[in-house]
Amino acid sequence: MNAHQQPNRLYTLCRRGGMMLFCLAVATITSLSATGWADSLFIITGADDAAIILDPQQEEAPPDLSAQMLYVTNGSRGYDISLKEDTTVTVRHEGSAVTIQSRRETISSLLGRLHIYPSELEMIGVKISEAGLELNVASELTYYDYVTEEVSFPTRRVPNPQMKEGEEKIIQQGADGVRSSVYEVVWSNGAELSRQFVEELRTTAVEQVVEYGTAKPAPKPSTGSAPAGDESLTEPGETGGGISNVSENADGSGTLTLKDGTVLNYSGVRTMTATAYTTGHGGVGTRTASGTAVHVGTVAVDKGVIPLGTRMYITTSNGSVVYGLAVAEDTGVKGNKIDLYYDTYDECIQFGRRTCTVYILA
């Protein structure tokens, strides 16, 4: 849920350009072509990382960009932008790319010189960078948007072994605030298709810190091993001391015997890549995709691989870490991967990325 190095490089390049790079594009008052050029939707990136959408269907006036030395021509059919002479322009369309020097002309005219005529479902991405101007004519465009938004305070849970299990205490009150964030945005066929959080740059929100008890009551005297099929583990996160024996049937199902005598029936087993996550980092909140509160034993899955609500018993393949009883309650990963919830960021760092054996409980 964290690897976004490529998006970071892209939006950082945009930020370095800043206002100075927008001097590369200066629009002048011009008549819009009757050939349908102005019907195209423009997505402009590179001005303080904030994306500018010029949709010919929008009723409101375009934003005032004079502070960035950019002036948009607004006609009866939509918008067009004029280019300064001798600007290096790279045009990408249908898998090919060509680099030319602009004349004192509109973007529509420049594309016409290259015999590129956007269809009704294609858009024009205008990216300003240190190298010049890049035009991407496509039916699907991806860009990175820098936004400032109001956010609720995050909550960090800290275990307290001196406090009884089930008890909680707020030791730092949270406060809502404003954060600057980067989102990956995908437009397809002239409409925004998705907006995915990438990174938090800064925030004024104050996290709430909650201590929770981990001291368990004294165990009752043992009366012997649990009979086969008697699942004495009920709480997610319980490990039963780890696995002492695995009995597998011909159809891939089987039973797990734990070190405390608990026997769990499983319907199948998977080898999966596991990472770890916690609240207050990477935009993670306190509620899962299922609507439950996050807790140890919560697992984020690709619900196309493991359905939400699935009960599991998880251990690393080499046995070094036993995560124990878990439930698929959250999403945010793709493919044969799982993300295990821990209460602290340090625990997540210590876990890192490991290969795990996941027993799907019957």
The CA distance from 31 to 209, in Å, is 59
Which pTM does this prediction carry?
0.44
End-to-end CA distance of the chain: 28
Residue 294's CB: how many other CB atoms inside 10 A? 22
* Residues whose CB falls within 8 Å of the CB of residue 357, separated by 6 or more in sequence, listed in order: 269, 270, 271, 314, 315, 316, 317
Q: From first to last of its 362 residues, what are the pLDDT tens digits of the chain?
A: 444 444 444 344 334 444 333 334 433 333 333 344 446 788 888 755 577 888 777 666 665 554 443 455 665 566 777 777 888 899 999 989 999 998 888 888 899 999 998 888 888 888 887 778 889 999 888 888 888 889 888 888 888 888 888 888 999 999 999 988 888 888 888 888 888 887 888 899 998 999 988 887 766 554 444 444 444 556 777 888 888 889 988 888 999 998 888 899 999 999 999 999 998 777 677 888 888 888 899 999 998 899 999 999 999 988 889 999 999 999 888 889 999 999 888 888 889 899 999 999 97
For residue 189, what are the CA distances in angstroms to 41, 101, 280? 10, 29, 35
User: If you search the block for the tokens 């005032």, which residue do you land on?
Assistant: 64
The helix or strand, by DSSP H or E, that contains position 73, with its residue range, turns out to be: strand 73-75
Residue 280: CB partners within 8 Å, gap ≥ 6? 154, 155, 156, 207, 345
pLDDT in the model for residue 197: 82
Contact 247, 359 (CB under 8 A): no
How many residues would you count in the chain? Answer: 362
Ordered alpha helix ranges (H), the chain: 5-21, 107-113, 345-351
User: Coil, helix or strand for 225?
Assistant: coil
Instruction: Return the exposure string of 23-53: e unless at least 16 CB atoms fall within 10 Å of the residue's CB, then b.
Output: ebbbbeeeebbeebbbbbbbbbbbbebebbb
Q: Are 272 and 336 in contact (CB under 8 A)?
A: yes
- The pLDDT assigned to 79 comes to 74
pLDDT at 106: 81
Domain boundaries, the chain: 5-143, 146-183+199-214, 232-361
16's tokens:
């370095």
Angle at 33 between CA 37 and CA 60, to 5 degrees: 70
Q: Tokens at residue 59, please?
A: 């009723």
Report pLDDT for 109: 86
Please tell me the distance from the alpha carbon of residue 313 to that of residue 250, in angstroms, as a whole number.
20
The CATH code of domain 146-183+199-214 reads 2.20.230.10
Closest C-alpha among 316, 320, 319, 318 to residue 338: 316
Q: Count CB neighbours of 96 within 10 A.
A: 8
Architecture of the domain defined by 232-361: Beta Barrel (2.40)
Give CA 33 to chain center in angstroms.
40
